[in-house]
Amino acid sequence: MDITLRWMGGAGFLIEAGSLRIGIDLYLSNSCMDAEGNFKRLIPVPDFSGELDYLIASHEHGDHLDMGCLSGWFADNANLKLIGPASVMAAAAAAPGEAKLRLDKGETLSLGSGASVKAVFCDHGAQSPDCIGIVLWLGNFCVYFTSDTCFRADLAELTGVVKPDVLLVPINPAYGNPGAEGAAKIVGLFKPKLTIPCHFWLFKEHGGDPAEFVNECRKIVPDAELKLLAIGEQTSL
């Protein structure tokens, strides 16, 4: 199965695997910005076209479930299915699409074409108690997106994830996320074949420094293979 992954900025990714097109935590609007200019989008919106089969949202926060785009995505994608935990289902209830599939921690959904998604433990604290980590199986290929989780030493045990092919990890140090050192420790816990950092530079409130992350990985997991993607850049897996 040919697999490509494209970083869409923030915590968002577009994955194409065979005939499937899967979005994870896509945020392509500026709907999080308030009247005072807080949470203003600081990076350009990458080109985005074509139909989505699935949109997976790890939790209901606006930069992970883009309410500024959701109705349009449903209108433009006749077969789109939204997947997420209870908080996502509640937040998206007013959106016009009917294909909304609830996925809570510990549950698995088949996506067809030899692919599946499992919701696993993550710790986003009281900000979003039902936030899910996302494990995508694309044939025999495993992509693990930690979602917004703090570092904790028992994360591998609680998720049940073992040596994924690709680890997608946030490196911003705000809102309970791990920052450079914590993210490097997460890499050390899971020992993936490849790590791609995300969730930085979208808002001034987020922070996140990819150079610092690389330096921390070199200290903590010196043999880790890392790949830093530019906004909108695609890579084959």
Spacing of C-alpha 27 from chain mean position = 10
pLDDT < 70 regions, the chain: none
- 8 A C-beta contact, residue 212 and residue 199: no
At 126 the pLDDT is 86
Structure-token pair, residue 17: 């695997």
Please report the pLDDT score of residue 122 as a whole number.
96
pLDDT for res 98: 72
pLDDT at site 214 = 98
Long-range contacts of 28-36 (CB under 8 A, 24+ apart): 28/66, 28/68, 28/69, 29/66, 29/68, 29/69, 30/68, 31/62, 31/66, 31/67, 31/68, 31/69, 32/62, 32/63, 32/203
pLDDT digits (tens, 9 = 90+) for 140-180: 999 999 999 999 999 999 999 999 999 999 999 988 899 99
CA distance 76 to 99: 14
Question: For position 95, what pLDDT does the model report?
Answer: 82
Give the per-residue pLDDT at 65: 97
pLDDT at res. 198: 98
pLDDT value of position 1: 84
pLDDT of 200 reads 96
Give the pLDDT score at 107. Answer: 98
Q: φ, ψ for residue 232 (rounded to 5)?
A: 85, 0
Amino acid occupying residue 115: A
d(CA 47, CA 88): 25
pTM for the complete prediction? 0.96
- Cα(43)–Cα(151) distance, integer angstroms: 26
| CATH architecture of structural domain 3-236 | 4-Layer Sandwich (3.60)
Q: In the chain, which ranges are E strands?
A: 3-7, 13-17, 20-24, 54-56, 81-84, 100-102, 108-112, 115-120, 133-138, 141-145, 166-170, 194-198, 234-236
